[in-house]
């Protein structure tokens, strides 16, 4: 079974645009789980422009599925938050400060020593680690040397090419997944996955563990309702 982890950052974006607590992100996490999400993902950024550090603490209290915190461990504050809240998984992302959204994965060759040291901090605390990565064979080959448990394939390039040539779009991801499987790494995927491109991806990627989806899912929920939308996404993963 491929897990669907729902990224609830966008609830916080809407809330923060007005102040107050509407919509309530804790309620969103509770509801997402009731509606069938297999996990909750949050991506606190240093400027706390959507999910705040305190949101993460509050959400942790009610997560009954799998909790995944994404972020750049460059910030000591981020490392402390993860160690304090002890999610099931931390996904390390090399996003720059103020970046609109994640737009590249780790260079596991260049940043091997840094990743190795950082990953050990989380693993010593019993937290599973995943690293965001482009589907480039040399980078996948270097990933296990960092001690990571999983990789998260950065799927924006797939999503962009899906409508013009889906076979070509998925090719590097299949090769990357085969390589990761052969090295004993778990595989997650995320970014720009949606109701059109998700099923083709999940059917073709061998041993996909989890898809982490935010933007498109929340946009669809505006039209289709949150419960219905989660069920529709889950169906694409079956
Ligand atoms: N994975 C990572 C590492 C991300 O940064 C994001 C966006 O916050 C996602 C997955 C989800 O991407 P999307 O919001 O496009 O579904």
Where exactly are the structural domains of the chain?
A: 45-210
106 preceded by cis ω (within 30°)? no
C-alpha span between 235 and 50 (Å, rounded): 28
C-alpha span between 183 and 166 (Å, rounded): 26
Q: Give me the CATH topology for the region 45-210.
A: TIM Barrel (3.20.20)
Cβ neighbour number for residue 62 with a 10 Å cutoff: 13
Q: Quick: pLDDT tens for 22-54.
A: 999 999 999 999 999 999 999 999 889 999 999
- Amino acid 151: pLDDT: 98
Q: Let me know if 88 is a catalytic residue.
A: no
Q: Which of 66, 70, 152, 210 is catalytic?
A: 70
The end-to-end CA distance of the chain, in Å, is: 7
Q: Which of 43, 66, 152, 210 is catalytic?
A: 43
Q: Which of 50, 66, 152, 191 is catalytic?
A: 191
Question: CA dihedral in degrees (130, 16, 4, 167; nearest 10)?
Answer: -80
Q: Quick: pLDDT tens for 106-147.
A: 999 999 999 999 999 999 999 999 999 999 999 999 999 999
Is the CB–ligand 1 distance for residue 93 below 6 Å?
Answer: yes
Is the CB–ligand 1 distance for residue 188 below 6 Å?
Answer: no
Residue 192 alpha carbon, nearest atom of ligand 1: 15
| CA dihedral sign of residues 23, 55, 36, 230 | positive
């Amino acid at each position: 079974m491929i897990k669907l982890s729902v990224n609830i950052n966008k609830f916080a974006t809407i809330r923060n645009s007005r102040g107050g607590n509407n919509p309530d992100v804790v309620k969103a996490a509770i509801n997402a789980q009731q509606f069938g999400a297999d996990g909750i993902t949050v991506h606190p950024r240093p400027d706390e422009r959507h999910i705040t550090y305190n949101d993460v603490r509050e959400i942790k209290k009610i997560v009954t599925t799998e909790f995944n915190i994404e972020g750049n461990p460059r910030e000591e504050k981020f490392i402390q938050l993860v160690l304090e809240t002890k999610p099931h998984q931390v996904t390390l992302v090399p996003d720059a400060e103020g970046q609109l959204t994640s737009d590249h994965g780790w260079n596991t060759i260049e940043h091997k020593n840094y990743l190795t040291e950082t990953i050990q901090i989380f693993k010593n605390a019993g937290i599973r680690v995943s690293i965001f990565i482009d589907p480039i064979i040399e980078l996948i080959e270097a990933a296990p040397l960092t001690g990571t448990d999983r990789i998260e394939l950065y799927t924006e390039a797939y999503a962009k090419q899906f409508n013009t040539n889906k076979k070509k779009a998925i090719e590097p991801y299949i090769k990357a997944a085969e390589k990761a499987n052969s090295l004993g790494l778990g595989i997650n995927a995320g970014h720009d996955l949606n109701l059109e491109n998700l099923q083709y991806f999940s059917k073709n990627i061998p041993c996909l563990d989890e898809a982490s989806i935010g933007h498109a899912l929340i946009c669809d929920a505006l039209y289709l309702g949150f419960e219905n939308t989660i069920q529709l996404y889950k169906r694409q993963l079956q």
